[in-house]
Amino acid sequence: MNKKSVTLGVALLMSGVAMAQTAVLGHVSDSEGTPIVNAAVRIGTRTVALTDGKGNFSLAKVPAGTKTLTVAYVGMKPRTMEISKNGTMNVVLEWDDSNLNEAIVVAYGTAKKASFTGSAATMSAQKLENRQVSDVSRALNGTVAGVQTTSNNGQPGTSATIRVRGFGSINATMSPLIVLDGVPYDGDISSINPNDIENVSVLKDAASAALYGARGANGVMLITTKKGKSGDAKVQFEGRWGVNSREIPNYDVVRDAKDYVTHLYHSLYNEDIYNNGLSAERAAQRTNPRIQKALGYPVFSTPEGELLFDANGNFNPRATLGYMVRDKQGNPLNLLRPDNWEKEIFRQNTRQEYNLSVSGGNERFNYYWGSGYLNDEGIIDNSGYKRYSTRLNADYLAKSWLKIGANLGYSYAQSAYPEEQTNKEATS
């Protein structure tokens, strides 16, 4: 009886091992049958194999429960397929030409990526919407190739420093030329509401920026605002609310007054022992009054006639935190206690942003109106940035040869700086 039970248990165990892994063979090609070399075969987010010179791949061990795999290649649309029951797969990938048909803004108008021979990078409105930033300069960080952005400080509303062609001059400016809807823009880029931006194109090479002359020597950043499209009126409202907090924690410091005073005592005590050559008894006698002198006032109060530390360096258990200031008659005036200035300065604050837009039009007339409010409070008390903005774009086709347009924008910004405790205002 026992022998049969053991045999059955081993058989079940071997069966479980056999079902845990499956072999898969496959071939990857394009729509014309050309093999795709070095296509990535993924299970979940992990790449498990690459296709060989003939477009074939082999997976010897596929974990149990895996139902699909994804095949991806640069410039082609990734495809996710169910693993066939017989373990053989034929994957056909299609070329992704959507990026080639994407229009980019250039100095003389617009062009398709497929026909554009210069060096340029673009960022669409959709990418801007996915990044919660107060100004477009911070949205460029990590999204536009070849563009370097540096944030000098964490003050809300402060634009990042933009470099397109690196550092090429000591005295002259190295910032790129900003062109807003075809007009050079000399104002603060943080005054432009990112919600009003349709497209940002960065011209990086000399040929692309040649039409701007010497002003485009450091690159050109073309900002195109939103316009109305034919169709019924479209009303959009967007509200965002969040919390600003310190991302990088502070250094680990002594936060307890008792620990701090104890470390100070041993520091002064060791100084007398090793540097001044005093005896242990003499060093202990000198250290207690030196603590009060080093701190400026007695942080702890002790009963009359008792010291804060005994001869062995032990903290007085009857000491209480705080020092009572008394008048000449002995009446209490004020209790002095240590303050946590970090807690007083740094705090979590809120960020609120609200945008309202109306757009529409027909074959002859289109319009876009947007208005926004931003209140970005900093993590330091009394620091923050407020912005009120509105923009109107309208185009009217009066004749086949005559088009009338208006592009108006207004922005009012108010910055609060903690070091000055005053507000600075800017209007553009």
Domain ranges (residues) in the chain = 19-93, 103-225, 231-246+345-427, 257-337
Closest CA to 395 of 357, 359, 342: 359
As a whole number of angstroms, the distance between CA 93 and CA 112 comes to 24
Percent of the chain with pLDDT over 70: 86
The confidence score (pLDDT) of residue 395 equals 92
The confidence score (pLDDT) of residue 214 equals 82
pLDDT band at 11 (very low <50, low <70, confident <90, very high): very low
**At 17, phi and psi to the nearest 5?**
-65, -40
Q: 267 versus 86: which is more confidently predicted?
A: 267
pLDDT score of 377 more than 70: yes
Report helix, strand or coil for 205: coil
Count other Cβ atoms within 10 Å, centred on residue 353: 21
The confidence score (pLDDT) of residue 236 equals 93
As a whole number of angstroms, the distance between CA 196 and CA 353 comes to 13
Q: Which residues, including other chains, have CB under 8 Å from residue 129's CB and lie 6 or more apart?
A: 195
The confidence score (pLDDT) of residue 10 equals 39
Q: What is the torsion angle, in degrees rounded to the nearest 10, for the CA atoms of residue 252, residue 255, residue 258 and residue 260?
A: 50
Please compute the mean of the pLDDT values over residues 231-256 and round it to a whole number: 86
What's the pLDDT tens digit per position in 12-45? Answer: 334 444 444 577 889 999 888 899 888 888 887 7
Fold matches, 19-93 and 103-225:
no
Closest CA to 193 of 370, 352, 377: 370
The confidence score (pLDDT) of residue 402 equals 92
The confidence score (pLDDT) of residue 369 equals 96
Amino acid identity of 344?
A: E
As a whole number of angstroms, the distance between CA 356 and CA 134 comes to 16
As a whole number of angstroms, the distance between CA 99 and CA 49 comes to 27
Average pLDDT, the chain: 81
**CATH of the structural domain 19-93, one choice from 3.40.50.2300, 3.40.50.720, 3.40.1190.20, 2.60.40.1120:** 2.60.40.1120
What's the pLDDT tens digit per position in 113-149? Answer: 544 556 677 788 888 887 888 888 888 877 777 788 8
Please compute the mean of the pLDDT values over residues 86-101 and round it to a whole number: 77
Q: What is the torsion angle, in degrees rounded to the nearest 10, for the CA atoms of residue 283, residue 288, residue 290 and residue 295?
A: 150
Q: How far is CA 113 from CA 67, 99, 106, 188, in A?
A: 38, 7, 11, 30
Percent of the chain with pLDDT over 90: 20
Ranges of H-type helices in 20-131: 125-129
Amino acid identity of 361?
A: G
pLDDT score of 353 more than 90: yes
Report helix, strand or coil for 230: coil
Q: How far is CA 249 from CA 155, 245, 246, 257, 260, in A?
A: 17, 10, 7, 21, 21
| CATH code given to domain 103-225 | 2.170.130.10
pLDDT band at 358 (very low <50, low <70, confident <90, very high): very high
Q: How far is CA 215 from CA 184, 202, 286, 391, in A?
A: 10, 14, 70, 26
Closest CA to 189 of 420, 389, 416, 421: 389
Please compute the mean of the pLDDT values over residues 177-198 and round it to a whole number: 89
Amino acid identity of 129?
A: E
The confidence score (pLDDT) of residue 1 equals 41
Q: How far is CA 361 from CA 110, 366, 409, in A?
A: 22, 4, 20
pLDDT score of 340 more than 70: yes
